[in-house]
Amino acid sequence: MIEIPTGLPAELVPLSWLIGVWEGTGVIDYAVGDENVSQEFGQRISFSHDGLPFLNYSSYTWLLGDDVEGQPLTSETGYWRLARLHIEGDAGPGMLPGVGPRPFNTAQSVETLRNSAEGFDIEVSIVHPTGVSELYLGQVKGPRIDLATDAVVRTQSAKEYAAATRIYGLVDNHLLWAWDIAALGQDLRTHASARLAKAD
């Protein structure tokens, strides 16, 4: 059952099932040439909001195993929101305030954003500390999200990373996700997945 928090901006209702802190474990399974990287990891993900029509996202992972137990692996941070044109009532660019009422502030007005597949188009931006920034486009449809990179930006010092897809789903009150990447000269292929439970 999905509970919608009180005081939630109407635009976040389709993404409301993500809100909270999730913890659990997963596995990396990625082939580079003839080598296969396989490793278990722990993860903590947080989705929150601050009254604005987007979710704040952060993820922290660490390695699991006898020789590496608890060793930090990586982190991500970003923003998740419904994809729509911004108009006068929206803030920005920069710190410019919106002019007039904030748009899409009722459930009825948000319903007009449904796409032809009966879901909602979304945009997700994720930044990695390794010099990679990703812009994902996708869809949320009930308790399932499908994303694919529209753009990947890398600093000169970052490792080669070209594209990715991610899938998130709510299954038996657990957040399941899978992440495929095209990196290090490889085509898009399985990279990592995890099963996370809501933290108390």
Q: Annotated binding site for heme b: which residue ranges?
A: 159, 191
Q: Mark the binding-site residues, compressed into ranges.
A: 159, 191
Residue found under tokens 């029509």: 53
Residue type, 24: G
Neighbours of 9 (CB within 10 A): 19
Spatial separation of the C-alpha atoms in residues 83 and 60, rounded to whole Å? 26
Residue 181 and residue 189 in contact, taking contact as beta carbons nearer than 8 Å: yes
Spatial separation of the C-alpha atoms in residues 2 and 8, rounded to whole Å? 14
Tell me if residue 83 falls in helix, strand or coil.
Answer: coil
